[in-house]
């Protein structure tokens, strides 16, 4: 696991300590960030607010940080994941004079979302496969006004998993091996 691009490019991240944490494949991560940086959706990652839900090792959120995101929230309820995430963030040696803000929340995603007061430009959701966490998070993100019409949601699931996204436009769906990346936006 490594950072693909940006100011931390090439940095090796600590992998999960066991199989309870499934990291996003480099192929899917590379595709997700290619989409983010393309002109297809006019997404601005530079100076953006990002939330990485079910963050695991933090690879997706750290990649966003490397590419210029200024505020990032990491949420995961697994203490082992939080431990790996903290080690990976400490490798960044961030100079907080550049006004980069990182917040790590160890809690269930639905509980954590209730207590957040920010609005996010980019939402990354990568829960354990075949759970209904994506659907629950979409409802909570909307309910607690954590997203707006300019926010983009990138949800990773198993390729056979379907979830209800009422109130959202599905902009795209891409399959990578056993994984599916769904891109959503409020309508």
For the segment 127-167, what is each residue's pLDDT rounded down to a tens digit? 998 888 999 999 999 999 999 999 999 999 999 999 989 99
Q: Where do the domains of the chain lie?
A: 26-186
> What does CATH list as the number for 26-186?
3.40.50.150
d(CA 170, CA 187): 10
| Sheet containing 152-158: order of strands | 101-106, 71-76, 49-53, 122-125, 152-158, 179-186, 168-176
For the segment 48-86, what is each residue's pLDDT rounded down to a tens digit? 999 999 999 999 999 999 999 999 999 999 999 999 999
80 phi, psi to nearest 5 deg: -65, -40
pLDDT above 90 covers what percent of the chain? 73
d(CA 159, CA 180): 5
């Amino acid at each position: 696991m490594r950072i693909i691009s940006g100011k931390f490019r090439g940095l090796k991240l600590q992998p999960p300590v066991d199989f309870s944490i499934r990291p996003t494949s480099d192929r899917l991560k590379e595709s997700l960030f290619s989409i983010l940086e393309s002109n297809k959706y006019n997404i601005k990652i530079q100076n953006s607010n990002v939330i990485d839900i079910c963050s695991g090792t933090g690879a997706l959120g750290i990649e966003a940080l490397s590419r210029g995101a200024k505020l990032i929230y990491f949420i995961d309820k697994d203490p082992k994941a939080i431990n790996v995430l903290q080690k990976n963030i400490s490798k960044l040696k961030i100079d907080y004079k550049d006004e980069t803000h990182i917040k790590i929340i160890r809690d269930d995603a639905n509980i954590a979302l209730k207590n957040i007061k920010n609005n996010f430009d980019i939402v990354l959701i990568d829960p354990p496969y075949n759970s209904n966490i994506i659907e629950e998070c979409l409802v909570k993100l909307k309910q607690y006004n954590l997203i707006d019409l300019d926010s983009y949601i990138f949800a990773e699931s198993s390729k056979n998993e379907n979830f209800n996204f009422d109130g959202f436009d599905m902009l795209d769906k891409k399959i990578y091996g056993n994984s599916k990346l769904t891109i959503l936006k409020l309508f």
